[in-house]
Each structure stands twice: as C-alpha cells, then as structure tokens.
C-alpha cells in the first residue's frame, strides 16, 4: 500500500479525512481511508516464492488485508492464483426505505468505478452494465459477489431491462484516442445508448443523470464557459463523434423530459483525473505521470499554450451525487476552475513526480519536456464557470491539483511496483 506521512489538505489548508456531504436528503459522506483502501491497494497480496508460503498468506486474515484481493503472485512461475474475497468492504446498513436501486452504465470505467465504490459504501444496491471497451472488471472486482452488487456485461446500444430508482448513464469512451478509435461506434453509443437508457427511465420512472462534457462547448469563444453558452463545435472533425454525440445525447435527454416527463439531470464534466484512470488511454494527466515515472520524455502537443482545468475524482463524485439528488434539471458544469497551460502543467507534474520519488528515497534524473504536433481541433482554452453548481448544489471543488496529483502518482507507482503498469 503506498503511503505518505503528509495529510491531504484541501484548498483552504484543512485536512481532508472524508469526502461527500449531506445534501437534498441524501448523505454521500464516507471516510477517505475507506475509499483509499479500495483504490490505493495492490492487486495481489505479495510476492512469495513457495507454494507453502502462498497458502499461509492466503489464509492470513487481518484488518488491513481482509477485503483486499487474496490473489497470490508466484514469483517462480510468474503466475497469479486468484481466490475469492474472505470479506467484503463494510457497507452502511440502510433501512429499505432509504436504500436505492441504482444503475450505473459504464460503471467499470474510471469515473464509474469511483461512483460505484461510493454508492456501495453508502449502502445502496448497485447494478453496473459495461461492455468493457475501455473499462475493466478489475476496477469493481472487490464488489463481485456482494449481495448489493451486480455486474452485467452489456452494450448500451442494445436495450436493457431492470427495475431501478436512479440511472447514472456514463457509458461512453472519454479519451480522444479511444473515442476516435471507432467514431461510428462512439456516435451509436452516445445516441442509441442514451435513447435506450432514457426509455428505461421512462418505463421505470427512475431519475436519469447523463455525464455530458465540456466538449459540448467545442473550441470555445467564451471564457470561462457558463452553461448557457451554446458552444463552437466542428461537426465534421475528428472530435465530432464525441462532441456531437454528447450534444445530441443532451437533446434526447431534454426531449424525453419535455415530451414524457422523464426526471433528468445533465452534468457537464470538465477534465477529471485520478487513480484507476487507464494509464495508456492517451489523456494528458495519465500520459505525463507515466512518462515522468518511467523517465521518458513528456510529450506536450502544440506549443503547450492551450489551457485546461483539472478536477480530482472525489470532487466530481460529490458533484454528480449532489446533482442527482437535487431538483436541478438544467445542465450543470462540474469542474475545477484552476486553469493551467499544458506547458505549465507538464512542469507541475514533473515536479510532483520528483517530490514523491524523493519522499520515497528514489533518486531519478529530471525528464525532458518535448513538443509534438497539435491534434486537429484541439480546444485552445477551457475553464468551467461553476457559479450554477455553487448556487444550486452548494458544491465547489475541495481538492487542489497538487494534492490530487500526488495521490495519483502514488497509485501509478504502486502499479509499477507490482508489475501491472
């Protein structure tokens, strides 16, 4: 388990010990340590050489490892023996009147798996549907078999039947290389997937939340971007399958709301990062950290003057849950307003990786920052105007970019040590 002796501090310098809060009759607060025990953990217990030692390790059941995967790595044969969990992570015991049946599409992805952890720890019944295009079973494997949890391999392009109270509709690849890998499939997922999930919401009368994106603003001519800005999107460029896909998904959402009375929520998410982000998905935060940790050149696209604002995963999950349980049916931006040029950001990541390595006693040479061609239609600037989220959700980001990055560096370092990165 990676560790740092320093506490995580929020933007006002206070120690962060819990995430979430009670809003709109829904309490989303949980201990940060509990969540960390789910994502800042090794995939298998430890490297052991002999079969005897492995068996003993698998039988060990102390508080710190009781709900970690008991998989044992056999160094001699470079193989893993998987075992089922001896105990699931503790979840709140909610009375049936407060326990919700929640469907999370795309729940095996980066954002989805953190949402699932939070909802499970809070004591709700969670069903994940995912086609594992960019997500992985391992992100939620610690819940498989739990009575409150179900994992279904399903593509949202096909209809899906279930009884539920709330639907968080996340299923859609989010990184530019992934969503451009098969542009037609991305549009189908955005349109048909959203159509199917809205149809389900209509039948079940479930509340429906879609994770839209700052990409609906395209390469914006208004800065920062408020929700009433209509955007500046190239409809035929390489990013259009995602940008226009999400725009039409929003249009569908409001169609079902106006015509059929479906209870909808629209979150426009700005760049978010954190543990469990696929290290090879090509997004800037994962690219920079992995490059710096491996001692490779850090690749800045273009002249590095384009800007982005980066939000840590726990702030996003707080915002999504608050929005879902609020009465706000208009789109709401959820993002962090701390804006960096990509060139500045590369330097920041390089410094933070060096700081964490130094704390761990690792002496590494300073990596170079190199410049590569700018991708087509890459937005020149992006920063959320989060006035609405503050007013209607009483939500604002707590995590500094520095704190979040340190935690993410520790997560990737642990993955490298265990050999899975």
In the complex, the residues that contact ligand NAD under the rule CB under 6 A are 106, 108-112, 130-135, 155-157, 170-174, 189, 193, 211, 213, 269, 271-272
Query: Do 52 and 37 touch, CB atoms closer than 8 A?
Result: no
- Kindly write out the interface string for residues 305-334 of this chain, putting x where it contacts ligand UDP by CB under 6 A and - elsewhere: -x-x--------------------------
Residue 155 in tokens? 């593509």
Question: Is-contact 65 56, C-beta < 8 A?
Answer: no
Out of 180, 182, 278, 299, which residue is the one contacting ligand UDP (CB under 6 A)?
Answer: 299
Contact between 335 and ligand UDP by CB under 6 A: the answer reads no
Distance of CA 367 to the CA centre of its chain: 27
With binding defined as CB under 6 A, does residue 413 bind ligand UDP?
A: no
Q: How far is the CB of 216 from ligand NAD (least distance, A)?
A: 10
Q: How many CA atoms lie within 13 A of 234 on its CB side?
A: 9
Q: Where are the alpha helices (DSSP H) in 8-125?
A: 32-39, 51-59, 110-121
223 vs 227: CA distance, rounded Å = 11
The residues, any chain, with a CB within 8 Å of residue 327's CB and separated by 6 or more, are: 24
CA distance 188 to 131: 14
Angle at which helices 240-260 and 194-204 cross, to 10°: 20
Which residues make beta-bridge pairs with 166?
102, 207
CB 176 within 8 A of CB 233: no
- Residue in 111, 209, 267, 284 binding ligand UDP, rule: CB under 6 A: 284
Nearer residue to ligand NAD within complex by CB, 108 or 264:
108
Q: Which does 272 bind (CB under 5 to 8 A by kind): ligand NAD, ligand UDP, none?
A: ligand NAD
Q: Segment 356-375, which members bind ligand UDP (CB under 6 A)?
A: 375
Degrees to nearest 5, angle at CA 372 with 279 and 404: 35
Q: Minimum distance from CB of 286 to ligand UDP (Å)?
A: 8
Among 271, 272, 326, 333, interactor with ligand UDP by CB under 6 A? 271
The strand pairing partners of 298, in sequence order, are 369
Closer CB to ligand NAD, 155 or 227, in the complex: 155
Choosing among ligand UDP, ligand NAD, none, which partner's interface includes residue 300 (Cβ < 5 to 8 Å by kind)?
A: ligand UDP
- Candidates 44, 73, 217, 242; catalytic one: 242
Comparison of 189 and 306: residue with beta carbon closer to ligand UDP: 306
Which residue in the set 313, 342, 367, 414 belongs to the binding site for ligand UDP (CB under 6 A)?
A: 342
Instruction: Provide the minimum distance between the beta carbon of 135 and ligand UDP in the complex, in angstroms, as a whole number.
Output: 17
CB of 13 to ligand NAD, least distance (A): 26
- In angstroms, what is the minimal distance from the CB of 193 to ligand UDP? 20
Residue 307 to residues 31, 168, 343: CA-CA distances in angstroms? 33, 29, 9
At its nearest, how many Å lie between ligand UDP and the CB of residue 371? 9
Residue 242 designated active-site: yes
Stretch that binds ligand UDP, among 20-28, 104-112, 145-153, 283-291 (CB under 6 A): 283-291
Q: Can you list the positions of beta strands (E) in 77-198?
A: 79-81, 101-105, 125-130, 149-153, 166-169
114 or 178, CB closer to ligand UDP?
A: 178
Using CB under 6 A as the binding rule, whether residue 283 contacts ligand UDP is answered as yes
Min CB(384)–ligand NAD separation in Å: 11
Between the alpha carbon of residue 128 and those of residues 101, 199, 225, 321, the distances in Å are: 11, 17, 32, 16
Residues paired with residue 265 on neighbouring β-strands, in sequence order: 209
| Residue matched to tokens 């992100």 | 139
Structure tokens at 269: 């998410």
Residues involved in catalysis:
242
The site for ligand UDP (CB under 6 A) is made up of 175-176, 271, 283-284, 287, 299-301, 306, 308, 342, 375, 378
């Amino acid at each position: 388990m990676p560790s740092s002796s320093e506490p995580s501090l929020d933007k006002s310098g206070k120690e962060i010990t819990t995430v979430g809060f009670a809003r709109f009759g829904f309490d989303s607060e949980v201990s940060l340590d509990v969540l960390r025990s789910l994502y800042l953990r090794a995939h298998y217990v430890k490297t052991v050489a002999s079969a005897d030692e492995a068996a003993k390790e698998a039988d060990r059941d102390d508080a710190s490892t009781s709900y970690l995967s008991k998989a044992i790595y056999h160094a001699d044969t470079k193989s893993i023996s998987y075992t089922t969990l001896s105990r699931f992570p503790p979840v709140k015991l909610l009375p049936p009147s407060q326990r919700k049946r929640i469907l999370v599409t795309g729940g095996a992805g980066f954002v989805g798996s953190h949402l699932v952890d939070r909802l499970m720890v809070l004591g709700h019944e969670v069903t994940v549907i995912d086609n594992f295009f960019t997500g992985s079973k391992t992100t939620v494997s610690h819940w498989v078999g739990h009575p409150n949890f179900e994992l279904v391999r399903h593509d949202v392009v096909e209809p899906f039947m279930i009884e539920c109270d709330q639907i968080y509709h996340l299923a859609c690849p989010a990184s530019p290389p992934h969503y451009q890998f098969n542009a037609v499939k991305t549009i189908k997922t955005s349109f048909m997937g959203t159509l199917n999930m809205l149809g389900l919401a209509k039948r079940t009368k479930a509340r429906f939340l879609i994770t839209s994106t700052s990409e609906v603003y395209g390469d914006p001519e208004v800065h920062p971007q408020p929700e009433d800005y209509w955007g500046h999107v190239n409809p035929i460029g390489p990013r259009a399958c995602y940008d226009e896909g999400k725009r039409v998904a929003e249009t569908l959402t409001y169609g079902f709301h106006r015509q059929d009375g479906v209870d909808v929520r629209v979150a426009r998410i700005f760049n978010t990062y954190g543990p469990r982000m696929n290290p090879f998905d090509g997004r800037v935060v994962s690219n920079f950290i992995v490059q710096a940790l491996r001692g490779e050149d850090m690749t800045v696209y273009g002249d590095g003057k384009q800007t982005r604002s980066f939000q840590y995963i726990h702030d996003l999950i707080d915002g999504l849950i608050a929005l879902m349980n609020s009465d706000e049916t208009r789109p709401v931006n959820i993002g962090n307003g701390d804006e960096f040029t990509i060139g500045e950001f590369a330097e920041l990541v390089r410094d933070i990786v060096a700081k964490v390595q130094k704390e761990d006693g690792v002496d590494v040479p300073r990596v170079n920052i190199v410049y590569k061609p700018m991708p087509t239609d890459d937005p020149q600037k992006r920063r959320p105007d989060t006035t609405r989220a503050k007013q209607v959700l009483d939500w604002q980001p707590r995590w500094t970019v520095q704190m979040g990055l340190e935690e993410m560096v520790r997560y990737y370092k642990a993955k490298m040590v265990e050999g899975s990165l």
